[in-house]
Structure 1
Amino acid sequence: MALLDTPQPDLSLEELRFLVTLAQTQSLTAAAGKHGLSMGSASRRLARLRGIFEDELFVRAGLQMLPTTRMRDMLPRILDLLTSSKGLFSNDTFEIASVKRTVRILGVDNAVMTILREAIVRFAKAAPNASLEVQPINSEMLELLRSGRADLAIYPLKNVPKDFHMLELYRSRCGILVREGHPLIALYTEKGRLAMEDLRAYRQVSMDFSGAPEFSTAASGATGQETAVSMPYFLAVPYALMDTDYTFIAPVLTLLHFLRDNRYGLRMLPAPAEVSPFTPCLVWHHGTHSDPFMQWVRGVVTQSARSEAKRLGALEAD
């Protein structure tokens, strides 16, 4: 009773849905349109929500409205709340534990050990009758999602078609993976940093995902280095570095997992400032947007990905 007696902010489900839409579209104009609001009404609604949560919630970056750390942390709980609220207006009882279906996720191999690691455990406990199927990223990604042959994709996109939704999972710094004793280690110790021209003296291991140029570029760091080995498998990279002077640039979150295994004898160095942070996103088609089970799955994946990133301290500073 004490909780019920405590004054609570007067929030509506529609206002929470507005926050979710704004997080997904990163556009106040798009969010206003989807909720039938004028720009003035949308601005006033955002101002009211900022006051309630005592946080900016979204900050403008060019043409985008990017969620603050507080908003990113709240989003999985808001999605869970909206999913739970659907039960109040339905005669059907939705029990996650009884669901028997396969969730198909498009991603690359390092997504399992980073973004999906904790999510798989939570999924197994809460939905024991359902299953996960991870499929490789390819040029048909959007069509697979649109046709229902896949449910989610983990992919670093900057924008999506109007019939899709996208949610930024986190932003990770990038690092340079090299063997112990690599000349770049001594150079970094001497200079305190590495520049692009330092890297160009060495050839690199790069990622090549067929039909997915955005992922290939982001994964290999876009440093202008010559490529020595090109492959579509993150987990095979250490074997190309152990006994060579090749380098590999990737998100810190991925590289930290490689450093855990002493068999490889690898070191991680900070990437030059010009290397952009890596921002994986969760992408899904509007056809599954209101599916209660998929809303729960998206919440689990989002919360688990951000938890893993925070645990390993791999996030880019806001």
Structure 2
Amino acid sequence: MRTKSWIALAIVILSRGKCGLSTCTTHYLVAMAAADLLVVITEVILYQVRRHYFYWSFLSITPVCSVNTVLISAATRCSVWFTVIFTFDRFVAICCLKVKIKYCTGKTAAVVLATTGVLLCLKNIPRFFTYEHINIIDNVPWGCNTVDSYYTDPGWVAFDWIDTVSTPFLPFAVILLLNALTVHHILVASRVRKGLRGESKGENRNDPEMKSRRRSMVLLFTISGSFILLWLTYVVNFVYIQITGIGADRNDSQYIFNYVGYLLRNVSCCTNTFIYAVTQSKFREQVKSAVKYPLTSVLQLINKSPP
């Protein structure tokens, strides 16, 4: 619950636009935080908490359970792909100055985010039809069990592979490629600017442009690096299962590894808010102001009240 509150607070603070970030960057960060919040609500609260503590509840009715599973998948993929398009936006802003003027705008960011979100939601609708009930009690279907045809039918097998490749393998490749190109561009640009400014190795002159790029790099690499590290266990486990074809029992170490992979995957959807706090000084200032605001308001009311 604290994580949900912090993410909601991050959305409010970023939406105010007082963190010293550009409009397009703010749009991307708000969208990523919103997707992370949806993951926490659908995966952690509505699924995991329900599964372990409130199994016989309204949420366990088969249609409701199926809808929630679709929402979990859509929210997770939105969180991943919003990270990808944010990485691409920073790549354009740093490396493609001619395109930056037209692409890195608030309007473009809104269109890209909306289009991506709609497409990902539509893509996950078929997942609703991959589940069937486990029990029927008083003519009410309960539980969600994957239909057997999902593992054998060519259409569903193709759907599963496309879904797995699109998340997280393709995002992995795109983020690594864009970060590599961004680092190469910044290193080359840094050497060129130092040469033009006549800096020697022992000098350390202030360069506002390079400082701005460093701040962008810190935010970009922290977010994308966190994503890659936290999804790595999930990816390794998937590749291992596909190569060996070996499943796992509940008491097996592979089962634990698989469970840890899912855990870290969910954690990756909760880290961005803390990354903002660590890398953005103005964001920290806004958080402090938000935390102090209730106490300050109470003290002001007390001071204004008549004796």
Shorter-chain TM-score: which interval? under 0.3
The structure number with the bigger radius of gyration is 2
Q: Which has the higher strand share?
A: 1
TM-score (ref. length: structure 2): 0.24
TM-score, scaled relative to structure 1: 0.23
Write 1 or 2 for the structure with the bigger share of helix.
2
